[in-house]
Amino acid sequence: MTATHRQLSPETARLLTLDTEPWLSCEDCFAGMDHFVEAILSQPGTAAFPEMRAHVAGCPACAEEVESLLALVAEQDGIDASPALAALRSRPANS
Ligand SMILES: [Zn+2]
């Protein structure tokens, strides 16, 4: 029961939820999945898309979807999906 309301401008609130909250709906996850997959394939150690990582770590359905897309794109591009898959399955150790 915390009744304290901070004064946040709508823009600040929008940026806060957009950038720092590691929460994503499955819908948003699906929408950004191809970009996420491309990023993690080209740079498995990337810290980009923290909200995607957070979501996938807690959502088996999306994790499965990301892994199949990852395998597909890797095959199309003729690259090894293993580093990206490993990076995906391991929780980011550095933040
Ligand atoms: Zn999901």
How many A from CA of 77 to the centre of ligand 1?
26
What is the whole-number distance in angstroms between the Cα of residue 63 and the centre of ligand 1? 7
Global confidence as pTM: 0.70
Residue 92 has a pLDDT of 52
**pLDDT tens digits, 84-94:** 999 888 765 54
pLDDT in tens, 53-73: 889 988 999 999 999 999 999
Query: Residue 58 C-alpha to ligand 1 middle, in angstroms?
Result: 8
| CA–CA gap between residue 94 and residue 64 (Å, rounded) | 24
Residue boundaries of the structural domains of the chain: 23-89
Residues 13-45 have pLDDT tens digits of 655 555 445 678 999 999 999 999 999 999 998
- At 13, the amino acid letter reads A
In the block, tokens 């990023």 appear at: 39
How many contiguous H segments (helices) and E segments (strands) does the chain have? 5, 0
Q: How many CB atoms lie within 10 A of CB 92?
A: 13
**Terminal CA-CA length for the chain:** 31
Per the model's pLDDT, the better-predicted residue between 5 and 76 turns out to be 76
pLDDT above 60 (res 52):
yes
Instruction: Return the pLDDT at 54.
Output: 86
DSSP 24-87: --HHHHHHHHHHHHHHHHH-TT----HHHHHHHHH-HHHHHHHHHHHHHHHHHHT---HHHHHH
